[in-house]
A and B are shown apart, each in its own frame.
Chain A
């Protein structure tokens, strides 16, 4: 495209090219098999490294003819092999080439060819299959459609180093789902591939290693088997440890570390095992260093983040290893100002990896700061960290946004950070922006973070409230995803905690009683719990209680009855009784309970429940009802005495639980006064 040719000229050049290409194709149809063979060989030489020629030949229909020749039993073995080689060469071209080859059903034809006995032919077919399968455009399912293919490939593993290399490479690229893992596992992949780790060929070793990493990923069964495998009398884990030695190629160290990471996360190796703490973790930290290639740094950081996600001890060790926290700050410096000027190639390379680097760093920070307050502090004190998160939240790349919000979420578990850096950098602003029509996975993380930002002591709470977040959270409670519903209602609950009447009214208005009661019957226990929590927070301080109960008393009492009668866990019932207790604290609201004999009976029975927590909550409710200094307390006391509450209270003063005992005594004092 360097020079724009005049249109007619361009056509003539094209036709010239096509003419020579056509000649190659024509020769495939020669009646003389010897000439056909020569034609294929010439074609092979013509297409090597020539993408245009490859495209031309495909357009001119060379592929079906080559496949025909390859499959024809009358073709000589030499011809069939050459055909496979040419097809392999064509596959090396562009993605479009691969698509055309797959469309011509090249895969079943080549798989069929593997049944031949001739090793050279098999290798040519495998090589072509390998090239086709490692392309992202090829549907991996094609490897698994014929159930005889996998066992046959396993049997070919013993034939030569080439078959080993190609087959393991195919496996490691096509094993994408747990089903795939199980198919390979059930056909003896582990036993067949393990010896290849000791192969004299580096390529075979590497492909075998990659196979194990994809097989072990999130697969407990495979991982459990792997820890017991012996290779040359040595445990597989030890083989992996050796492959992580610092003088081994980086690719090998990294892949071996991945294998051990996956085995560890699948529960096959303990996180306090020496091979994890002393070998895998430091190896992965090294992969994050500035000396490594950008790709390696991305992979290293992601793997490390995955390894230590659930284990605070690993997080602590990683946080002190080789200045990891500071090392990660460098991930944000691409493309650097130097690379922009120095050379275009480098800039292009840096640009390509910049997003990947940033998201990997965010992920690793998220993992590092998941549990330990000191580490979180160290992270937030890293140069420009909060600014980087803030800008990460609004990046165009969804991957970066997700990772940034994960990181923010991890840090938001710190009370201190919520009070300081989060407020100083107004992280709530980009967070709120992120919440507007983001994909679900981002929404879940962002709304979780928002929940923490709405905690009572968070200085960001005020500005968030003013930004009209209520509507947004209410809409989250209507989501299909339980995680989003929980986060929505959770945030509302936090928001209502010790809030002004104005805020509470706003929440009730925006959510609507209908939605509130729908949430009270939500199938997800977590949603129910948080909704009850919201109700409880709404019903606090006397004037609020009376006001809300005067407008929604009937529905609330109904809902409470329903829950107390329904099949729910202890926590749910406890929370409900606490709500009742709050209602009992209201001036006018308590009448709603006092006039409801059915409810009083329920309270009475909970006072005698086997669970102390429920007893406590019920007693608390009664104590509120009979509180002395209020109007009509005498009548309420009398009524409850008649219903037998006093006897129960008396009994509870003897309870073994000191809290319950105290509370019962306090209640009894109301009668004595």
Chain B
């Protein structure tokens, strides 16, 4: 209703038209790299994405509280219509406190889609806020940190998101208060929350000039990046931009083992790849093993394919062995797997594709939406979600398994299954499913993204494919049982547990040996301690050190091993390449990267580099 009213007003009201025009001009000026057809900018609060205690007026810019406001259970938030596009580079909005109402429990900040709206921003995961009553900042936590001054009626609070270094700072009446949050995830929405009657705030997404001089701040970053590029040594390679960029792309692909893409890229650009194809494939195989939690096999494969590598790198070996121990606890390592009748190539509890390398704990709305859209595969997804609640994008999704009818059927069949004949029968099923999966997955190894879904990161894309395969081939697959039954140490097998303890002793001995040879190493000690601590809890998956069991933890081990094979140390090179690398690592989303690159282009005028002779968009990051 409000929207309709506003729409009809706009036609007749020249003042509004003027405001609209001013908004358009300001947004264009502030965020020239944003393509609003693809990623619209937030322009108002969303009448759909809010708690019922929130009322909107004045073109959905004014927010007022209409609940009881008895306690924190009556808190209510509203998100903006759209998330902040990464191509903004630097994004800013302001909120004016029209009235602090009864108690002034107001929070201003950011949140991801799906975060509970019956809360103030900052209290939950993927939610960030600065609160007026105490001036504290809340970083995904119910307890705040002292941050800035309190704010009240008449104050203008600004919130700036720096998407280049993933930080956020606030302003009060035009004065910068300093960094509040770091390591922000992508795709956050401007959010405000209110909690007591009478609280009213107005948003300014660019409708009016900002109190804080945000353009000055942006100019500093523009100059900073200009300077960074200007200082980057080119040396005699001057004028060979194309070659530099090509080798950058090529080395990225090779490093992460996107073999076919790398080959295709080399063909298209008529360049050579240093490493031969089989080597890339070998590395990829090893990586897959690690990511699947089969670290023991990965170690064997490495020792076989790259003799001497681990011997010369005892720290890496130790790290791998520690991981292997963790995977034994998890029940995924082949050394314990073999005790159950499950195949060593057993079910892969890692939800991502094995060849997916740069994956970070980011929300992935795509994954979620696909899951709900196609009921056939929703089972696989949701059941896994449950067992790996660490995946926020999934866990925060509103539609969980019960909402999908097929999933109910699924879990039912499963429970009957388990009552009849414990793991054995289902495990045999699992075997087939896994081999199927392996085969299927091979087709997508290089993740050549379909052009129609170019905006989906290849890894995620593949992931869906795999899951589907899983389901198609398997009618009533095993994955669901993991969600319904408590997971057990080493898969619940006595022999496996013994093997694990045996392995733990060996690990301890290795640690002592390393200590004798190379001196004390606090990192090793910590690793060992953490790994062994898992055994101290009845349910290792839900204990303070349970984080280790998260398949996501395999990534760092995997990347360390990969780098070692490639003979690289940690990636650190010239400032510019480091900068680009950090860009490519910072973001999960291809489109985010693309947008950021666009932003850098726009910042730096790098556009006048020689054109690529292939379409840039088809590159897979």
Which residues of A are interface residues toward B (Cβ below 8 A)? 245-247, 278, 282, 317, 320-323, 327
Contact = CB atoms under 8 A, between A and B. Distances in A.
Interface stretch (B173-181, B308-316, B320-328): B173-181
B219 A245 contact: yes
Contact of A246 (B172, B177, B216): B216
Interface string B557-568: 000000000000
A322 B212 CA distance: 13
A278 B211 CA distance: 10
A322 B177 contact: yes
B223 interface: yes
Contacts of A327: 178
Q: Chain B at the A interface: mostly helix, strand, loop or mixed?
A: mixed
Given A278-B213, A320-B148, A320-B149, A246 B220 contact: yes
A246 B219 contact: yes
B241 interface: no
Contact of A245 (B177, B178, B216): B216
B354 to A, nearest CB: 40
Interface in B195-215: 213
Contacts of B219: 245-247
B220 A282 contact: no
B217 A320 contact: no
A247 B178 contact: no
Given A320-B148, A320-B149, A246 B176 contact: no
A278 B209 CA distance: 15
Interface string B28-65: 00000000000000000000000000000000000000
B216 A322 contact: no
Q: Chain A at the B interface: mostly helix, strand, loop or mixed?
A: helix
A247 B223 contact: yes
A321 B216 CA distance: 16
B222 interface: yes
Contacts of A245: 216, 219
A205 B148 CA distance: 38
17 contacts: A246-B216, A246-B217, A246-B219, A246-B220, A246-B223, A247-B216, A247-B220, A278-B174, A320-B148, A320-B172, A320-B177, A321-B176, A321-B177, A322-B176, A323-B177, A323-B178, A327-B178
Interface string B142-179: 00000011000000000000000000000010111111
Contact of B175 (A246, A247, A282): A282
Contact of A320 (B175, B213, B220): B175
Interface in B7-39: none
Contacts of B179: 323
Nearest to A249: B223
A566 B41 CA distance: 79
Contacts of B178: 321-323, 327
Ranked 4 nearest A-B pairs via Cβ: A246-B220, A247-B223, A323-B178, A247-B219
B217 A317 contact: no
Interface string B211-242: 00100110110110000000000000000000
A240 B491 CA distance: 71
A156 B332 CA distance: 84
Nearest to A289: B178
Nearest to B219: A247
A320 B151 CA distance: 12
Contacts of B222: 247
Nearest to B226: A247
A246 B217 CA distance: 6
Nearest to B179: A323
A377 to B, nearest CB: 12
A247 B219 CA distance: 5
Most chain A CB inside 10 Å of its own CB: which residue of B149, B175, B213, B219: B175
Interface size bracket, B side: 10 to 19
A323 B145 CA distance: 13
Contacts of B213: 278
A71 B355 CA distance: 81
Contacts of A278: 174-175, 213
Most chain B CB inside 10 Å of its own CB: which residue of A246, A322, A327: A246
A322 B219 CA distance: 18
A323 B176 CA distance: 9
Nearest to A381: B146
B446 to A, nearest CB: 41
Contacts of A321: 175-178
A109 B175 CA distance: 54
A327 B174 CA distance: 20
Contacts of A323: 177-179
Given A246-B223, A320-B148, A282 B176 contact: yes
A322 B177 CA distance: 4
Contacts of B216: 245-247
A122 to B, nearest CB: 35
Nearest to A274: B174
Contacts of A317: 175
B426 to A, nearest CB: 55
Given A246-B223, A282-B175, A320-B177, 19 more contacts: A245-B219, A246-B219, A247-B216, A247-B223, A278-B174, A278-B175, A278-B213, A317-B175, A320-B148, A320-B172, A320-B175, A321-B176, A321-B177, A321-B178, A322-B177, A322-B178, A323-B178, A323-B179, A327-B178
A282 B177 CA distance: 10
Contacts of A320: 148-149, 172, 175, 177
B30 to A, nearest CB: 15
A368 to B, nearest CB: 14
A314 to B, nearest CB: 11
Contacts of A282: 175-176
Contacts of B149: 320
Nearest to A244: B216
Nearest to B173: A317
Contacts of A322: 176-178
Nearest to B180: A323
A327 B179 CA distance: 12
B94 to A, nearest CB: 15
Nearest to B224: A247
A327 B148 CA distance: 14
A282 B174 CA distance: 10
Contacts of B177: 320-323
A246 B175 CA distance: 15
A614 B222 CA distance: 69
A278 B175 CA distance: 7
Contacts of B220: 246-247
B7 to A, nearest CB: 37
Contacts of A246: 216-217, 219-220, 223
Contacts of B217: 246
Contacts of B174: 278
B534 to A, nearest CB: 34
B352 to A, nearest CB: 37
Nearest to B175: A321
A382 to B, nearest CB: 12
B575 to A, nearest CB: 15
Most chain A CB inside 10 Å of its own CB: which residue of B179, B213, B216: B216
Contacts of B175: 278, 282, 317, 320-321
A69 B252 CA distance: 67
Nearest to A378: B146
Most chain A CB inside 10 Å of its own CB: which residue of B178, B219, B220: B178
Most chain B CB inside 10 Å of its own CB: which residue of A320, A321, A327: A320
B225 to A, nearest CB: 11
A320 B175 CA distance: 8
B229 to A, nearest CB: 14
A322 B217 CA distance: 13
A505 to B, nearest CB: 50
Nearest to B169: A322
A490 to B, nearest CB: 36
Nearest to A317: B175
B137 to A, nearest CB: 11
Nearest to A374: B149
Interface string B359-381: 00000000000000000000000
